[in-house]
Amino acid sequence: MSGERTPTGRKRPRKRGRFLPYILLSPLVLFIGALALYPTILTTVQAFFTVNPMDPPTRFSGLANFRALFHNSFVRQSAANTALYIVVGVGLSTLFGLGIALVLQRRSRWRGVVLALVVLPWALPAVVESVIWGWIYDPTFGVLNSVLKSLGLINSDHVWIGIGRIVSIVLIELVQVWQITPLAALLILAALQSIPQELYEAARVDGAGRWEMFRRVTLPLVRPGLAVAMVESLILSLNVFDQVYVLNGFAPGGASIMMQTYQISFNNLNFGQGYALSLLATFATMLLSLLILAVVYRRVEF
Amino acid sequence: MRGRSGARRVSRALLITLILVWSAFPIYWALNTSFTTLNGAQSVPAHFVPSPFTAQNYKTLLNSSGGVGNQFWRSFLNATIESGLATVLTVVIALFAAYAFARLEFRGKRIILVAVLATLLLPVYATLIPLYRIMSSVHLVNTYPGIILVYTSGFLPLAIWIMYNYFASVPRELEEAAFVDGATPVVALWRVMIPVSLPGIAATAIIVFLMGWAQFIFPLVLSSDLTTQPVTVVVAALYGQRIVPFTLLNAVGVLAAALPGVIALVLNRYIVQGVMAGSIK
Amino acid sequence: MPVLLVVVLLAALVVLAAACGSSTSTSSSPSAAATTSSGVLPSPTAGSSITVVYHYPAPPKSVLDQFTAQTGVKVSWVEVGWDNLQTKIATAATSNTYFADLTDVDWSKVGQYYKTKWFMPLNPYFDAAALKADMPQIDTFASNGQQLALPFDSSFTVTTLNTKIAKAAGVTGTPANLTDYTNALKQIKAKGAVPNPLDIPFAAAEGLSTYWYQLTAAYGGQVLDASYAPQFTSPSSAGYKALQWMVDAYKSGLVPKANIGMADYQGFTSEMAPGRVASVFSDYSGSVGSIYDVPSSSKVTGQVQYIPTPGVSGPAPNLSNPDGVGIPVTAKNVAGALAFIKWFTDTQQQAIWAGLNGSSDVISGFPLPARVSSLQLLAQGNKVSGASELMTLLGSSRAEFPGPGAPPWYSQFSNAVYTNIHQAAAGAETVQQAVTNIATEVNQLKASQ
């Protein structure tokens, strides 16, 4: 940038601008440094300490917190639950998102309205959505039971959440899927719209049918969008809390890792273990994100 | 486009209907439940149209001298203030930072940008507990400033990402013209970049506001009473409490969803653009 | 690189801060526990205000205004659900933040609060020994000589029965023991009008733990002994049998399936009050007057009665679980808070909360007054449903952990209890596994103290 000349030959000011970037960036760096980086460092360091108001003082304890977590059956259970949350969350939101994006690819009169409604679940607070879905799932008066009974699929009122562990988790995650599918749909739609039309034309000239075009052109080129959507869904479903808090409470059957961290830290006041669990989950997130990116993301050139 | 067979049209219409039902049914059901009495809502089989129809639940909520109404509106105010101010702060800071990343060259640019965006990968709880303890040591727990600061730090990476993409896609010629006239980069930002990128800035603001309004776990921990509790915390508490009937609860849910819902429906274009712009690596 | 330098500096700062430790100790330790009280309260400043955060709805404004008129102190009352409130208390205390001048001190937390020093001892201001005769449950709130709260009410678990439903199913008389009670329930179920007649709150919450303690008492035992050792591990023990009974009741359909997700008060209001169940074995004293007999929220007015809790061999003791009101050490207006405690717990006011001046001045859901003198006022005026039964039952009530009081680690204990019983009912654990898990947790907690 130094010494460049504009088309009219004027020299761009150099000395005045040198500190400008840092001035512009200083609020950002301050915020991220103090309220994102510093807390993360704190978490990392204090995971190796005993931090517990019921057991003062704060002192170094090495791997004690981690060992306690591995031996805690509820923690292990919440990890298994969260694995299922992730599979359902990422799987369904990506599938539905892809479907919605494909349907909405074509510009039409109605697309604006449909898009508006599609995005609506993403804009609403997860807690509010959980309360609404909780009423739908209600064993005695919920519309789910009502509809299934009138269709003859079930005989008596089913208790959906609380008895069957897998069913509970799937149904709680469904509420989150409802919320995050719009995001996946938009991300995939963006990728779809960046596929040049010529490629479809070329494929049609070669005699490819609709399914062939989808397999040979769409799928490969949409992979970056799919990857980003999947990573977003992964982060959100690994973090799932609001829906679990409202619909599952403190029961171990549906507890997620986030819920367990909350209980350990704020009910049991064992902050040291809470830090340790947070750290483990952070690693898991990063590992899984990298895995998804490695497997799914692939820029293809034709 | 021509010659689309009838069958294809029908199947397409079916798919769109399915998508609409999937997206809108729970909201419709909440509305349905909120406009009827407890007996009507608990009728077996379920009524798909409220019968008997009554707006009593909303009257109860609008009467803010009552318990639930009072809690709800105070929390509504809290959510709007906290999210609104956090949005303003976030957008302003992100503006300057995104401009620096998009248009200026300086040492450390890559590292800072990567570091900022990497925090997007950080799960919530990497920072939840320490933030709580930091805020309490400066006595900002249960205060507007405390919550706004926490929100801002959480939304900055996403805001910067969206605005960075917008700024990067603005042709440099526009600013060149300003430079020719002797403008400094800051003036160019003010006179050229911002006016041109208003849609992107609007998108960022809307998305950040919606995210702020939906926050739950942070205010659950950081705000201990109605001084600062937003709608989400109050709604969850009402759901877990004893005597609030489901019809009233659904009315609370509808009202709680009203503000973000209306914003999402009316300003939908900006949200879609914002998310899609942010996805192009 | 300047950025790298900043990061390294921050990291160093953190390690330093962490190593210096004791960032978690609360600042002001309360004044040494004076065991004699002067009985003299400091005068509150006129025009000041206090914040009361509690899990009951506020008294009517008109009544609170009377307090303001008397003392000049304004009252701001915030209602927060019990579980949430416990979290708030803990988070505010650990962060040394002010959140209330007065709040709930649960009977089960007194041991913990003695250890963590979160509440101000009231010994200099209230003479517990003198008050004991009129406030029988005041001891529940003292630990190691420190009076950490005064009773907000008196409360104990009771058994409620919808006699109308029972009679319609052909059940004559009151069940005298647990076998009769179980048979009565089966009979009601068989007759069909109420297919699942028993309410047990199987949600993973405190109400489930309390239910188990009461049933254990019905089987003639306790869950922990005086040294907090588990008493329920053997299949012939009272606690084991009680757990088995609860799980069997759920699995055999005596309890509605939906109860797996229902907490205590939810059960009262959405099942007992609409007449969908016929009995709650471990209900709370005062629920007849404040829930079942209230026409606007109940369909069974006049039908529900307190019955002596049916034990294995006759009436079982009822367990006291009163709520207490205490002053957190972070309170701002101590004088105002003390004045409020005195006013709130005096004979007249306690009777008014329970209905002495009619239903317009009550605290909704208020169980029973903490004072015997208040109960007498109410009995005279015939103002409390089932008053005579309640007075008798109060006389035979006892604490869950008589002697040492609740252990300091009670919350973790209760957490282990309700999560495992919930799992057992949901079929995720056997009763044996649940019992073993709870016992293991107890032994770990004991060992760590």
pLDDT in tens, C90-100: 877 877 778 88
Most confident range, picked from C27-41, C71-85, C420-434: C420-434
| pLDDT at res. B127 | 82
Structure tokens at B264: 């999402």
| pLDDT at res. C403 | 66
Name the CA dihedral angle for B12, B14, B16, B20, rounded to a multiple of 10 degrees. Answer: 180
pLDDT tens, position by position, C361-410: 878 778 788 888 888 888 887 777 777 778 777 777 777 887 677 888 88
Contacting chains of B (3 CB pairs or more, <8 Å) are A, C
**Do residue A163 and residue C260 have CB atoms under 8 angstroms apart?**
yes
| pLDDT at res. C35 | 46
pLDDT beneath 70, residues of chain A: 1-17, 299-302
Under a CB-based contact definition with an 8 Å cutoff, are residues B251 and B57 in contact?
A: yes
* A110 closest CA partner among C151, B15, C241: B15
- Non-local (6+) Cβ contacts of C201 within 8 A are C207, C208, C211, C259, C262, C263, C264, C266, C267
**Do residue A53 and residue C116 have CB atoms under 8 angstroms apart?**
yes
pLDDT tens, position by position, C396-433: 777 788 767 788 888 889 999 999 999 999 998 999 99
Taking the C-alpha atoms of residue C246 and residue C242, their distance in angstroms, rounded to an integer, is 6
Across the range C166-185, mean pLDDT stands at 93
* C221 closest CA partner among C234, C205, C207: C234
Question: How distant is the Cα of C65 from the closest Cα of chain B, in angstroms?
Answer: 16
Rg over alpha carbons for chain C, rounded to the nearest Å, is 23
In chain C, the percentage of residues whose pLDDT exceeds 90 is 43
- Non-local (6+) Cβ contacts of C84 within 8 A are B237, B240
Q: Average model confidence (pLDDT) for chain B?
A: 84
DSSP H or E run through C202: none
Name the CA dihedral angle for C53, C55, C59, C64, rounded to a multiple of 10 degrees. Answer: -10
Q: Read off the pLDDT band of B63 (50, 70, 90).
A: confident
Under a CB-based contact definition with an 8 Å cutoff, are residues C10 and A38 in contact?
A: yes
Instruction: Show which of residues 291-330 on chain C sit within 8 Å of chain B, judged by CB atoms.
Output: 297
> Would you say the C-alpha torsion C429, C433, C438, C443 has a positive or negative sign?
negative
Task: Return the number of CB contacts < 8 Å for A and C.
Answer: 113
**Locate tokens 């205000």: which residue?**
C49
pLDDT tens, position by position, B209-255: 999 999 998 898 888 777 888 999 888 888 876 557 788 888 888 99
Phi, psi dihedral angles at C117 (to 5 degrees): 60, 45
**Do residue C14 and residue A74 have CB atoms under 8 angstroms apart?**
no
Structure tokens at B98: 């995104």
Cα-Cα end-to-end distance for chain B: 31
| pLDDT at res. C278 | 95
Structure tokens at C49: 């205000």
Name the residue facing B242 among C80, C88, C269 (closest C-beta). Answer: C269
Under a CB-based contact definition with an 8 Å cutoff, are residues B166 and B240 in contact?
A: no
Sort out which chain C residues have CB atoms less than 8 A from A33's CB and list them: 6-7, 10
Whether the per-residue pLDDT at C211 is higher than 90: the answer is yes
> Would you say the C-alpha torsion C400, C403, C405, C407 has a positive or negative sign?
negative
Question: How distant is the Cα of C73 from the closest Cα of chain A, in angstroms?
Answer: 33
Whether the per-residue pLDDT at B99 is higher than 80: the answer is yes
Name the CA dihedral angle for C432, C433, C438, C443, rounded to a multiple of 10 degrees. Answer: 90
| DSSP assigned state of C60 | P
DSSP H or E run through C162: strand C157-162
List the strands of the sheet with C304-307, edge to edge: C198-199, C279-284, C157-162, C304-307
**Do residue B134 and residue A116 have CB atoms under 8 angstroms apart?**
no
Instruction: Show which of residues 267-286 on chain C sit within 8 Å of chain B, judged by CB atoms.
Output: 268-269
Cα-Cα end-to-end distance for chain C: 49
**Do residue A1 and residue B236 have CB atoms under 8 angstroms apart?**
no
Classify residue C25 as exposed, middle or buried by CB count within 10 Å of its CB (0-12, 13-18, 19+).
Answer: middle
> Coil, helix or strand for C78?
strand
Across the range C20-43, mean pLDDT stands at 49
Query: Looking at this protein, which amino acid is placed at residue A291?
Result: L
Instruction: Show which of residues 375-434 on chain C sit within 8 Å of chain A, judged by CB atoms.
Output: 408-409, 411-412, 415, 418-419, 422-423, 426-428
Across the range C134-139, mean pLDDT stands at 83
pLDDT tens, position by position, B102-135: 888 888 888 888 888 778 777 677 788 788 878 8
Question: How distant is the Cα of C98 from the closest Cα of chain B, in angstroms?
Answer: 9
Sort out which chain C residues have CB atoms less than 8 A from B141's CB and list them: 91-92, 95, 97
Under a CB-based contact definition with an 8 Å cutoff, are residues A49 and A61 in contact?
A: yes
**Do residue B216 and residue A6 have CB atoms under 8 angstroms apart?**
no
Structure tokens at C18: 């962490």
Taking the C-alpha atoms of residue C219 and residue C202, their distance in angstroms, rounded to an integer, is 20
**Do residue C10 and residue A33 have CB atoms under 8 angstroms apart?**
yes
Name the residue facing C260 among A54, A159, A271 (closest C-beta). Answer: A159
Contacts of the segment B23-27: beta carbons below 8 A, 24+ positions apart = B23/A117, B23/A118, B23/A120, B23/A121, B23/A182, B24/A117, B24/A120, B26/A121, B26/A129, B26/A132, B26/A133, B26/A136, B26/A178, B27/A120, B27/A132, B27/B254, B27/B257, B27/B261
Contacting chains of A (3 CB pairs or more, <8 Å) are B, C
**Locate tokens 């990567």: which residue?**
B114
C26 near A CB under 8 A: yes
Taking the C-alpha atoms of residue A107 and residue B149, their distance in angstroms, rounded to an integer, is 41
**Do residue B125 and residue A281 have CB atoms under 8 angstroms apart?**
yes
Taking the C-alpha atoms of residue C11 and residue C354, their distance in angstroms, rounded to an integer, is 58
| pLDDT at res. A10 | 44
Taking the C-alpha atoms of residue C210 and residue C224, their distance in angstroms, rounded to an integer, is 13
**Do residue C3 and residue B115 have CB atoms under 8 angstroms apart?**
yes
Under a CB-based contact definition with an 8 Å cutoff, are residues A184 and A118 in contact?
A: no
- Non-local (6+) Cβ contacts of A30 within 8 A are none
Taking the C-alpha atoms of residue B235 and residue B242, their distance in angstroms, rounded to an integer, is 13
| pLDDT at res. A24 | 84
| Per-domain boundaries in chain B | 1-54, 65-277
| pLDDT at res. C296 | 73
- The CATH number of the structural domain formed by B65-277 is 1.10.3720.10
Taking the C-alpha atoms of residue A130 and residue B235, their distance in angstroms, rounded to an integer, is 10
Residue A70 C-alpha from the chain's centroid: 25
**Do residue B112 and residue A39 have CB atoms under 8 angstroms apart?**
no
A157 near C CB under 8 A: yes
Q: Average model confidence (pLDDT) for chain C?
A: 84
Tell which wins on pLDDT, C220 or C379: C220
Whole-Å CA distances, B169 to A37, B9, B103, C343, C448: 29, 37, 11, 69, 61
Whether the per-residue pLDDT at C276 is higher than 80: the answer is yes
pLDDT tens, position by position, B159-201: 998 888 888 888 888 878 878 887 777 777 788 888 888 888 9
> Would you say the C-alpha torsion C261, C266, C270, C274 has a positive or negative sign?
positive
Phi, psi dihedral angles at B270 (to 5 degrees): -65, -40
Strands C146-147, C142-143: pairing is antiparallel
Domains of chain A: 1-40 (no CATH), 72-296 (1.10.3720.10)
**Do residue B264 and residue A266 have CB atoms under 8 angstroms apart?**
no
Whether the per-residue pLDDT at C14 is higher than 60: the answer is no
Taking the C-alpha atoms of residue C302 and residue C2, their distance in angstroms, rounded to an integer, is 77
Taking the C-alpha atoms of residue C46 and residue A156, their distance in angstroms, rounded to an integer, is 62
Whether the per-residue pLDDT at B265 is higher than 70: the answer is yes
Q: Read off the pLDDT band of B4 (50, 70, 90).
A: low
| pLDDT at res. C31 | 40
Query: Looking at this protein, which amino acid is placed at residue A30?
Result: L
Q: Read off the pLDDT band of B66 (50, 70, 90).
A: low
pLDDT tens, position by position, B49-61: 887 888 888 888 8
| pLDDT at res. C253 | 93
Taking the C-alpha atoms of residue A29 and residue A37, their distance in angstroms, rounded to an integer, is 10
Across the range C252-266, mean pLDDT stands at 90
Taking the C-alpha atoms of residue C443 and residue C441, their distance in angstroms, rounded to an integer, is 5
Whether the per-residue pLDDT at B21 is higher than 90: the answer is yes
Give the residue from chain C lying closest to B113, CA to CA. C3
Question: How distant is the Cα of C408 from the closest Cα of chain A, in angstroms?
Answer: 9
Q: Read off the pLDDT band of C149 (50, 70, 90).
A: very high
Taking the C-alpha atoms of residue C322 and residue C138, their distance in angstroms, rounded to an integer, is 9
Name the residue facing A163 among C116, C408, C426 (closest C-beta). Answer: C426
Interface with chain B: mutation pick from A18, A108, A124, highest number of B CBs within 10 Å = A124
- Angle (CA) C402-C408-C411 rounded to 5° is 100
Structure tokens at C71: 């003392």
**Do residue B225 and residue C3 have CB atoms under 8 angstroms apart?**
no
Taking the C-alpha atoms of residue C424 and residue A4, their distance in angstroms, rounded to an integer, is 76
Phi, psi dihedral angles at C28 (to 5 degrees): -75, 120
| pLDDT at res. C34 | 43
